[in-house]
Structure 1
Amino acid sequence: AGAGARGGVAAAGAPSSAGVVESLACDMRDVKLLEKIGSGGFGDIFRATWRGTPVACKRIRADLINEEKRVALQDLAIEVTHLQQLRHPNICMLLGYSTSENNPVMLSELMRCSLLDVLRAGNVHGGGKPALSKRRSVRYAVQLAQGMNYLHTCKPPIMHRDLKPANLLVDFSGTLKVSDFGLAKLRPAPSARASDAKAAFMTGETGSYRFMAPEVFRHEEYDESVDVYSFSMILFYMLRGMPPFLHLGGVDAAVAAAIRQERPPIPRAWDEKITHLLQAAWSENPASRPSFQKALDTLREYYKANFKASLEDDLKKEAAENHGKECVIC
């Protein structure tokens, strides 16, 4: 998906490790690592058990030194601080953490795979066809927009700043959830911004280049609309079955979008409503991008018009088929 970048001026109210909830602190003697299932720049992800429950365990790499370790611990503290206050069906749930020097870890619910895993598997086995059906793509887009709308309507709003398929996880029931809040930032409420306008925006390259909003790459002021831009690139990826700017590396893709103002070509056969949503969401003008609530309204209307059922009705039917009968509370 291309290399990432970090940096930026923190918005006022950005959390520190002091904001974590002590009740979520875990004793590492209760954690048993089973197998490594992923890795990132500063940490490894393990399938583990915690008090007998299957969980995912993100652990800071032991070989990090000096500045790398400082940044990794800072990211972990930021992620824990954000996640401990978030509760939403489309946000990956934090279960516990340890900030001890020898075992800095974060425990979260165990997920089946990432959206990137799904998309890449389709590229390998799909014979040139998209990995996801249109129905599944729109369902995931709705779930992503639900999670992001929740974040953006928090008080103060939370910007993710690194939306990409690798940071979107799918659980064992097929529900998509937003994860990896190491680069997330709080944006001050309007009343706070009135007294300090500069606190409302950040600058600098933060996130992953292929999905990065143009104003971020150009080191301009930006707000939460950068997440809407990233969402548009993810939606395009799901529907098209291939990454935006497929034949360009990550940095070159960002240059194409930010400097030459290019966008991925949308097939003419695509539905007009989806085309308009994409074009609005990846608009060069951040103020022209829709809110996630507006994107949700569009996606839900499209889903019902094209699949003759609401997303909720589909999920209810799917659950009934999987379990054989409706759940009855006696």
Structure 2
Amino acid sequence: METTEIKVEDIDVTGPKLGQGSYGHVSVGTWKGARVAVKSLHEVFLQLYRDDPQRDAILAEFHREMTLLVTLRHPNVLQFLGYVRDDDRPLMITELLHESLENRLEREPRMSEACTHHVLRSVACGLRYLHERAEPIVHRDLASKNVLLSRDGYQVKIADYGLAKAIETQKRTAKKYMYTATFNQGTELYAAPEVFGKAASQPPRDMFAYGVLALETILGFITMPLPRNDEENLVIVPEVERRREDLNQSKGGETTYSF
């Protein structure tokens, strides 16, 4: 299916709000008779004066994200359907799934082993697709709130690519570009240690977050590791020590999971 530029009057955004972030929110809408998810910028940004540099910058990033998402086609990546390019009301339209993994775990903390494996394998496949593109994409905010499931749990898709921008990287002699999603550093509980420094965004950040997501999916709750720094001994606590209790718990009970 080709992505379509949509006129404002063709999309009806009257459904409930599904979530929001620093720059925008997602609501349920209707397009061509089908229920879809519609991402909009917060009104406070749209009400800025037209010559305000902040407004121009935010709109530019919003349009850049649309340009990126239109190229994504994978069963484990949320499908981008269309967009409204009107600067007075820019919108992004994607397919609508039933719920986030975060909501599913709140309702059913202990999913079946088969369901757990299916979710984690699906997310891994989606990440592999993003990271192995000719222009790799680093999500930077992989978390259970950004993994969406269909009602039957069969469809599992990575969502919320934030306001994407390209970072030029060098690999051997070939110049390549790596896209990152979101302005911020992502959700802290999923963040790799290097996120809090000034290291460039790389796929391993997503893989670290995937490990945390795997623990959360297996245990049924988001883990709360020990602090990163042992101030008494002035040392950085290794991740395996910070999360040892959760790692041991993931191997307990009747089922043992291997990482």
Q: TM-score range by the shorter chain?
A: 0.7 to 0.9
The Cα shift of 1:150 comes to: 1.0
SS in 1 for 2:14: strand
Aligned residue number for residue 50 of structure 1: 31
How far the C-alpha of 1:181 sits from its partner, in A, is 1.1
- Considering fraction of residues, name the structure with more helix: 1
Q: Show CA shifts across 1:10-35 (max 9, x none).
A: xxxxxxxxxxxx96211111111122
Asked if residue 63 in structure 1 is aligned to residue 44 in structure 2, the reply is yes
- Equivalent position of 1:177 in the other structure: 157
Name the residue aligned to 1:106.
Answer: 92
Q: List per-residue Cα deviations over 1:264-284 (Å, max 9, x = no partner).
A: 221267189734x2xxxxxxx
Q: Distance in 1 between the 2:53 and 2:16 partners?
A: 25
In 1, are the aligned partners of 2:218 and 2:250 still within 8 Å (CA)? no
Query: Which aligned pairs between 1:1-330 and structure 2 lie closer than 5 A?
Result: 24-38=4-18, 39-64=20-45, 65=48, 69-70=55-56, 72-122=58-108, 130-174=109-153, 175-182=155-162, 184=164, 193-195=171-173, 206-245=185-224, 259-262=236-239, 263-264=242-243, 265=245, 266-267=247-248, 270=251, 274-275=257-258, 277=259
CA distance in 1, matches of 2:54, 2:97: 27
In structure 2, the CA distance between the partners of 1:58 and 1:197, relative to structure 1 (3 Å rule), is closer
Q: TM-score, normalised by structure 2?
A: 0.79
By how many angstroms is 1:68 displaced? 5.9
Does 1 or 2 have the higher relative contact order (CA < 8 Å, sep 6+)?
1
CA contact (8 A) 2:29 2:38 kept: yes
CA contact (8 A) 1:87 1:93 kept: yes
**Distance change (3 Å), C-alpha of 1:259 and 1:103:** farther
Give the Cα–Cα distance (whole angstroms) in 1 for the partners of residues 167 and 56 of structure 2: 24
SS of equivalent residue, structure 1 residue 80: helix
Shift of 1:36: 2.3
Identity %: 27
Is this contact kept in 2: 1:215–1:222, CA < 8 A?
no
- Separation in structure 1 between the aligned mates of residue 236 and residue 177 of structure 2, nearest angstrom: 26
**What secondary structure does 2:91 align onto?**
strand
1:62 partner amino acid: E
3-state SS in 1 of match to 2:15: strand
Tell me how far 1:121 sits from its aligned partner: 2.6
What's the C-alpha RMSD, in Å, of the aligned pairs?
3.2
Comparing 231-240 and 132-141, the one that deviates more: 132-141
CA apart distance, 1:215: 1.1
Segments of 5+ residues of structure 1 without an aligned counterpart are 1-21, 123-129, 278-330
Deviation at 1:228, TM superposition (A): 0.6
Distance apart, 1:172 and its partner CA = 3.4
Instruction: Tell me how far 1:184 sits from its aligned partner.
Output: 4.8
